[in-house]
Structure 1
Amino acid sequence: MQDVTSATELLVQSSNTYFLLIGAIMVFAMHAGFAFLEVGTVRHKNQVNALVKIITDFGVSCIAYFFIGYWIAYDTTFYSSARELTANNGYDLVKFFFLMTFAAAIPAIISGGIAERAKFNPFLLASAIIVALIYPFFEGVVWNGNYGVQDWIEQTTGSQFHDFAGSVVVHAVGGWLALVAVFFLGLRNGRVKDKKLIAFAPSNIPFLALGTWILCIGWFGFNVMSAQTLDGISGLVAMNSLMAMAGGIIAAWLFGKNDPGFVHNGPLAGLVAICAGSDIVHPIGALVIGVVAGWLFVTLFTLIQRSKKLDDVLGVWPLHGLCGAWGGIAAGIFGSENMGGLGGVSLVAQLIGTLGGISVALIGGVIVYGVLNKTMGLRLTEEEEYNGADLTTHRIGSINHD
């Protein structure tokens, strides 16, 4: 009987490890989606820079999270022996891999907003600081109960702040950090002609679309695998992700008037918004969440394009910042039993948690980008920007004309 029990435990442990490993790989693959989405949106002279930024940010994020960030968030380090680290089939190691891919999404989100005029090294350093300190601080508060904040929210409102897969923890934080960076950078040269704002058209719609498809596929690992164990997996999460994605597509298509940039960002808006409540809302609620998110993105990105102070190239603030915040709040609305959800959430708690995430991002962003702007400078010179980040930073263009 003992042998059967041991064999069962081993099977469960190895199955959970494999389950989470697949999730980690799917989220890792999403970074290719971030890369192609940016490549397809920026002008040709900045395409190489987009590709290099995403993969370099990933490497730096991995190191920063391994040595500092994961320790801050979960009070866990990897300084014990390899034998100890591989206990439970190395589940804890795969858990790090999975959560690290979430952390690395923050710089990938920011990258799209700062494109075409940002210096490479200062923003790479900013990515390291954000993933080492700012993101894990809020991640630990929400997902590990650090500093007693979740206990206080529960005592105050009756429920803890609920963010199953990171609408606020990952996306809103990334989006509001990007807003600060975009503000410091200002408009790209050439955006204003004869006192009128000029929009730069996407350089490659097929690449943009490919980025969206990769992100959409990987997102089911992002959301479903957030259960982190097989016994916690729920088809409701997959169904809600699907419905929110569809709602975002339809809304972006209708309100975006067939614009391919809007249509291909619509599903991402819906998926960002559903992360928080994907495990508790009804599928019809998820559809509504996605529709509102798609409308939010189209409306706010259109307004940004008319602003002479903000130049958010990929619209990451409306897409991740605002839709992420909407998702955090929407979980408190559509997650309630009165709205067909599973309950256990409070709208007030969701408001507190969402505002907390925005505050951490804004304060952290002002400190990090403000200091780097004073000490290293954040923006390319006018000549460097005119030549493009590809030639300026990497000494090579995306197209070889020889």
Structure 2
Amino acid sequence: MNLEVLIKSSNVLFLLLGAIMIFAMHAGFAFLEVGSVRTKNQINALVKIISDWAVSTVVYFLIGFPMARGISFLKPASKLIGDNMGFDLIRFFFFLTFAACIPAIISGGIAERAKFWPQVFAGAIFAGILYPFFESIIWGINSTFVQGLIKNITGFEFVDYAGSVVVHSFGGWLALPAILILGPRKNRYNSNNPIPISNVPFLALGSWILSVGWFGFNVMSAVELKDISGLVAINSLASMVGGILVSLLLSKRDAIFIHNGALAGLVAVCAGSAIYHPIGAFVVGGIAAAIFVYGFHFETEVLKIDDVLGVVVLHGVVGSWGGIAAGIFGSTLFGGLGNVSFFAQLIGSSLAIIIALFGGSIVYLVIDKLFGFRLEEEKEIEGADLAIHSLEAYPDKF
């Protein structure tokens, strides 16, 4: 085997392992939601995540990846392999795992009261069209114009190494119009007692699966083996730990906030994971956890936005913080590698919010008008498991 073949095959294996790790994260999304909803809606959570994954694969293969990266697979298999051992196919798989996070993120915010097929349809639009459009202007074939514009204004390009903004912020802000259009779950605000979650161990399992897979999300964003960085791995670890410890203190040992605090740290670190000093990453993660602990209460109890898993805060707000934080803690002033601008990060992060809110509002308003988005009251009371899937998670519980 010559050196060139070895390099190509190593890159294929490297990125494939990353894709598999992120693919496994979708089990984390599923169990995080399963643990956070009532028992009568657990099956629905499981089916939504795996169905959205399947639909996302089809639409991203046919539409999204060609739109974002300019590569179409509608050609003979011999040409798909090409002279790089099918590396573009693995690139598709890898970036598919990012695109499929979008409907998975939204699923947690609209849990327990959304119709099944309208949300699957919305997820297809997001994974196949709207997300790839945003991917293309930040990371893909149309990035030269947008990044050039940001650089002309600020002197620097927008940095988002692994998707704090492109994936997490975008997905979280897309969820907000859906949550507002649906309205709160029945009886959510009729008393002082919030609707209880069903299973803390499942929620914790979801958090652990996501946390482990996140190292594929961040480290393998190098795409090729020659660009791998140990700094990315340690910064991811430091930010996760910062999120855990701050949420541990602020929430007074609340298991739900602690496990989500780990995820807040990981969401926030993605953008600047390749340029932070580990101490800076720790601080970024800690601030992200504080944003989630206080932001989730403000969103759900003060604003009375019934965001079941807190995805608007955990992904939307914290993802935006991660984008902006890269312009602060990625600078040489805080021990980072530099070559980043606060204002460039602010512009890029704001662009995600604007496109997500505008695009999400249009999609969900049209869907609600054409098909209806919310479950009928009697079906919501019965639970989505029986109403939609004709199955109970625990049929022998009595």
TM range (shorter): over 0.9
Alignment correspondent of 1:129: 125
Alignment correspondent of 1:115: 111
1:164 paired with 2:161, answer: yes
Q: Check conservation: 1:23, 1:98, Cα contact below 8 A.
A: yes
1:188 paired with 2:185, answer: yes
Residue deviations 1:211-246 (CA, integer Å, cap 9, x gap)? 000000000000000000011000000000000000
Alignment correspondent of 2:78: 83
Q: How far apart are residue 154 of structure 1 and its match?
A: 1.1
Alignment correspondent of 2:333: 338
Alignment correspondent of 2:375: 380
Q: Check conservation: 2:70, 2:141, Cα contact below 8 A.
A: no
1:350 paired with 2:345, answer: yes
The alignment partner of 1:192 has SS state of coil
Alignment correspondent of 2:93: 97
Match of 1:248 among 243, 248, 255: 243
Q: Which runs of 5+ in 1 are unaligned?
A: 1-5
1:312 paired with 2:307, answer: yes
1:269 paired with 2:264, answer: yes
Measure the CA separation in 2 of the matches of 1:138 and 1:32: 25
Q: How far apart are residue 304 of structure 1 and its match?
A: 2.0
The alignment partner of 2:100 has SS state of helix
Q: How far apart are residue 308 of structure 1 and its match?
A: 5.8
Q: Check conservation: 2:34, 2:203, Cα contact below 8 A.
A: yes
Deviating more after overlay: 72-81 vs 304-313: 304-313
Q: Which amino acid aligns with 2:132?
A: P
Measure the CA separation in 2 of the matches of 1:81 and 1:279: 37
Residue deviations 1:156-184 (CA, integer Å, cap 9, x gap)? 11111000000000000000011111111
Q: Percent identity?
A: 58
Query: How does 1:24-103 map onto structure 2 within 5 Å?
Result: 24-87=19-82, 88-103=84-99
Measure the CA separation in 2 of the matches of 1:366 and 1:305: 20
Question: Paired residues, what number?
Answer: 395
Measure the CA separation in 1 of the matches of 2:8 and 2:338: 30
Measure the CA separation in 2 of the matches of 1:320 and 1:173: 8
Alignment correspondent of 1:224: 219
Q: How far apart are residue 207 of structure 1 and its match?
A: 0.5
Q: How far apart are residue 145 of structure 1 and its match?
A: 5.1
Q: How far apart are residue 251 of structure 1 and its match?
A: 1.0
Q: How far apart are residue 153 of structure 1 and its match?
A: 0.8
Q: Check conservation: 1:186, 1:309, Cα contact below 8 A.
A: no
Match of 2:390 among 389, 392, 395: 395
Q: Which amino acid aligns with 1:315?
A: G
Alignment correspondent of 1:3: none
Alignment correspondent of 1:9: 4
Deviating more after overlay: 315-324 vs 152-161: 152-161
Q: Which amino acid aligns with 2:134?
A: F
Match of 2:170 among 173, 178, 183: 173
Q: CA RMSD in A?
A: 1.1
- TM-score, normalised by the number of residues in structure 1: 0.97
Alignment correspondent of 2:201: 206
Alignment correspondent of 1:370: 365
Deviating more after overlay: 26-35 vs 130-139: 130-139
- TM-score, normalised by the number of residues in structure 2: 0.98
User: Which consecutive segments of 4 or more residues in structure 1 shift more than 6 A?
Assistant: none
